[in-house]
Amino acid sequence: MLKFLLKNIFSYKLLFLLFFSANISYCLADSFNLKKIEIIGEQRLSESFIKKFVPNLKDGIINNQDLNNLTKKLYMTGFFSNVELKIIKNTLKISVKELPIINAVSFSGNDFLNDDQLNSIVSIAPREIFNKEILNSAIERIRSEYQKSGRYLAEVNVKKNDLSKGRINLNFEIKEGMPLVVKNINFLGNEVFSDSVLKSKLSTKEDAWYKLFGSNKFVPERLEFDKENLKTFYNERGYIDFKVEIARGDLLPDLSGFNLNFVISEGPRYLVNNINIQTKLIDKPITSLYEDLFIKKGDFYDSRALDESKKYLNKYFINLGYSFVKLKSSIKKNENLVDINFLISKGDEKYINKIVILGNTRTNDSVVRRELSFFEGDAFSRSELLSSIKSIKRLGYFQSVSYKIEDNFQNDYLDIILTVKEKNTGSVSMGVGYSSLNNTTLNFGLNEKNFLGEGNKVRFDVSLSDKKNTYNIGATDPYFMDRPLSMSFDVYNEESENTKGDVKSSSSGVGVSLGLKGNSWYQQLKYNYYSSETTTSSTSTANSITGEEGLEITNSAITVRISQDTRDDYFNPKSGHLISFANTLAGFGGDSTFIKSVLNSKIFYPINYGDYTLGLKSGVGFINGLDDKITSSNRFRLGGKTLRGFDNTGVGPRDTGNNQVVGGNNFYNFSIELNSDEWMPSDTGLNWLVFSDIGSIWGTDYEAGVQGYDDIAPRITYGFGLSMITPVGPLQMIWGFPIQSENYDLEESFQFSIGTSF
């Protein structure tokens, strides 16, 4: 046994010695004595550049680890597609293949995206090193960009054209393909509301021949937006627990489009069981505080009513003098009932550290700041902030104005961040109309409300027709000499003739005004100097007297105007009012002496939290001569946009001989209009409107030859229309139909205009 163990131990020793000697031999073979380094394959790069990556060698000895490290370093430079190291007869041969340099990048087959857009997407510039990973990433970004427009079948291939000296040209060959549309929208889990109702709340629509604005394209980013739309819709109707379990677009097998599938959970509908207001700011919440809440006990829960109630409570306590109010609302559910609790406390007194304005790339900061009723260092007031936001919106320079309040590192200070989104303030207004008096009328205007970003207004308006031409040039500086004092001037001219051409009139003048602005109020003092002349031919059939036949009448008048504007938007108001009262006194020189008074108002009420807007418009005017009779050019005219369904001057006293309008000394008008975008395609921006107008005009100092001079009977119209906000201003198409008129009135059933508003 001992002999056996000794024999085996000897065998193990022998094996160990053999293994150890083999490793020694291997290690010795792993080291090389270099005497020379050769570089093979370099083109643009110098030998010295490549050799500097070779490590410093002690006694010229290099091993495999050194060779591995050298290989890694050369690859990490990003200059080589291949590196090989060989040692032959004490010579290190480094063979490299350099990556090519991009000489130029081009695109072909693209139409939907232009070259500049694609260049910004690929982010590959000439003189860069070609890299396959960067190229593949660029291809994916192009495909992703096309998918955003619904082009899921877009193909992108790259053609490389080798040039001399290691350069290449890259051409992205693109087949854009047609956008894939949404063929069907399916809902699973809806029991309360039908598929058609839910489809109407989505921004994505099913494909149809009339879908012209892209709402039928499948865009994945819209899914999240549409999920929020559905959640908002259900929450507004009391379904607090509503969830979208699945929202997915599935590509059809024939690649013709997508099916959009929603799996939803409606949950129960909640009734408001109890409302409680907790606060120490007043001794005891008064009954009216509960009565004026938008959300009521016994009503179905409505998230809009809750939001409006919070706004009301916040405004209520601000009006009590609490500039910073903390308001928290909480909901407690019990079966199908919900209790709502409002906790209101006084916020810490805060001061304004910084006012930062973002998004105004064209409009100067000063134009926005001068609409603010507070400055850095003032005590913060939320009511003043909200009032200032409205004032900025009324400028008409911005699509949207939002704010954010941020706490400053100083405990008692905060920063106010105002973010605006600018829109085109320059506009080309155009209008086309037809009337039996002037035939076809073309209106053209060039207007800029924010000239050079300084808030200045410049305008040029022309109205041309067969029988009437008018011109107006003007400018306004709303902050003259950096004060809330506006300075304006206008130069205007008008030439007209009746349908037979036997009575012609012309007038021209200039106006200069000063205005004083304070918050929502505006006061203006204006001076006008103008002259008018009427010429009647010997063959004229006119029976009436204008008071200006063959005479050049000059007028010198001062107008005082006071107005208040609380509208929440310049072009498309949903709440607020615009009221204006103007009093004109003529007789400071010139040939006419009279006093003219005009009161106009526009009031807007939101209905169903802004889904609909009720607009009320009214006007009344009187003119009385002091020493002289009122001549034709100073009388009022009525019709057109004021009484839709009639010609622009189609209502009121007319000449018995040639049926020419003669105007009146008195008028009144009233309009009611309902406006909404409900049931309209969401991607069109269209609003529908229905209206009814009523008004009359009467009175003249020259009654001979005039019919209807004392007719105060109202004219009544009704109608409908379509409107939308375009880059050049509001567009309107109006169909109006008189239901009460006189036989001498002139009707006009259709009106089209761009650049005007109700």
Co-location of 571 and 630 in the same domain = yes
Same domain, 329 and 361: no
Q: What is the per-residue pLDDT for 596?
A: 96
Residue 75 lies in a domain: no
Neighbours of 452 (CB within 10 A): 11
Whether residues 585 and 723 fall in one domain:
yes
Mean pLDDT of 539-548: 81
651 DSSP assignment: B
Q: What is the mean pLDDT of residues 225-230?
A: 92
Q: Is the pLDDT of residue 409 over 80?
A: no
Q: Are 416 and 392 in contact (CB under 8 A)?
A: no
588-614: pLDDT as tens digits: 888 889 999 999 999 999 998 888 999
Last residue of a domain, one of 244, 265, 286: 265
β-strands 337-346, 271-279: how paired? parallel
Where a domain ends, among 422, 452, 484?
422
Q: Which residues contact 363 (CB under 8 A, 6 or more apart)?
A: 397, 398, 420, 422, 450, 453, 455
Residue 210 confidence (pLDDT): 60
Q: Locate 225 and state its tokens.
A: 């937006």
**66 in any annotated domain:** no
* Short-list 577, 585, 675, 576, CA closest to 618: 577
pLDDT (tens digit per residue) in 675-684: 998 877 666 6
**3-state class (DSSP) for residue 483:** coil
User: Is 0.95 surpassed by the pTM of this model?
Assistant: no
Q: Give the CA distances from residue 67 to residues 64, 97, 278, 450, in Å, rounded to whole numbers and listed in that order.
A: 5, 17, 78, 69
Q: Are 658 and 528 found together in one domain?
A: yes
3-state secondary structure 12-78: HHHHHHHHHHHHHHHHHHCEEECCEEEEECCCCCCHHHHHCCCCCCCCCEEEHHHHHHHHHHHHHCC
In tens, the pLDDT along 483-531 reads: 888 899 899 888 877 666 667 778 889 999 999 887 778 899 999 998 8
Range of the domain at 370: 351-422
pLDDT digits (tens, 9 = 90+) for 114-155: 888 898 888 888 888 888 888 899 999 999 888 877 788 889
Residues 576, 443 share a domain: yes
d(CA 615, CA 595): 30
Shared domain check, 169 and 222: no
In whole angstroms, give the CA distance from residue 448 to residue 461: 12
Among 100-109, 210-219, 367-376, 630-639, the minimum mean pLDDT is found in: 210-219
What local confidence, expressed as pLDDT, does residue 96 receive?
85
* 703 inside domain: yes
Least confident of 22-26, 227-231, 477-481, 557-561: 22-26
Report pLDDT for 513: 93
Whether the Cβ atoms of residue 700 and residue 678 lie closer than 8 Å to each other? no
Mean pLDDT of 475-490: 86
Residue 63, in any domain of the structure:
no
Domain boundary among 239, 265, 291: 265
Q: Which residue has the higher pLDDT, 561 or 628?
A: 561
Query: What pLDDT digit, counting tens, does each position of 5-46 carry?
Result: 334 444 444 333 333 333 333 333 467 777 788 888 777 777
Query: Is 23 a member of any domain?
Result: yes
Whether the per-residue pLDDT at 472 is higher than 90: the answer is no
Give the pLDDT confidence of 703-721 residue by residue, as tens digits.
988 999 999 999 999 999 9
725 and 594 co-located in one domain: yes
Percentage above 70 pLDDT, the chain: 88
Q: How far apart are CA 461 and CA 511, in angstroms?
A: 15
| Other Cβ atoms closer than 10 A to 321 | 8
293-302: pLDDT as tens digits: 999 999 999 9
Which of the residue ranges 68-82, 397-411, 565-579, 629-643 has the most confident prediction, judged by mean pLDDT? 629-643
Tokens of 491: 């130069």
Residue 727 in 3-state DSSP?
A: coil
How far apart (Å, rounded) are the C-alpha atoms in residues 362 and 374?
A: 23
Whether residue 87 lies inside any domain: the answer is no
Residue 113 shares a structural domain with residue 156: yes
Q: In this structure, are residues 69 and 54 in contact, taking their beta carbons and an 8 Å threshold?
A: no
Look up the CATH number of the domain holding residue 385: 3.10.20.310
Q: Which residues contact 421 (CB under 8 A, 6 or more apart)?
A: 359, 398, 399, 400, 401
Per-residue confidence at 227, pLDDT binned at 50, 70, 90? Answer: very high
Paired tokens of 96? 């490299």
- pLDDT for res 669: 97
598 part of a folded domain: yes
Q: What is the CATH number of the domain that holds 646?
A: 2.40.160.50
Per-residue DSSP letters for 181-238?
EEEEEEEES-SSS-HHHHHHT-SS----TT--SSTTB--THHHHHHHHHHHHHHHTTT
What are the φ/ψ torsions at residue 166 (nearest 5 degrees)? 70, 30
Helix (H) or strand (E) holding 135: helix 132-148
- 212-238: average pLDDT: 85
Residue 435 has pLDDT above 70, yes or no: no
Give the per-residue pLDDT at 717. 97
* Structural domains of the chain, count: 6
Q: What is the mean pLDDT of the chain?
A: 83
Phi, psi (5° rounding) for residue 308?
-65, -35
pLDDT of residue 501: 65
Here the tokens at position 131 are 């890299």
> What is the residue whose two structure tokens read 């506009």?
427
Same-domain check for residues 592 and 449: yes
| In-domain check, residue 58 | no
Q: Are residues 357 and 314 in the same domain?
A: no
At 320-379, the pLDDT tens digits run 877 778 889 999 998 899 999 999 888 777 888 889 999 888 888 888 888 888 888 888
Identify whether residues 390 and 299 lie together within a single domain. Answer: no
**pLDDT value at residue 440:** 55
Are 210 and 144 members of one domain?
no
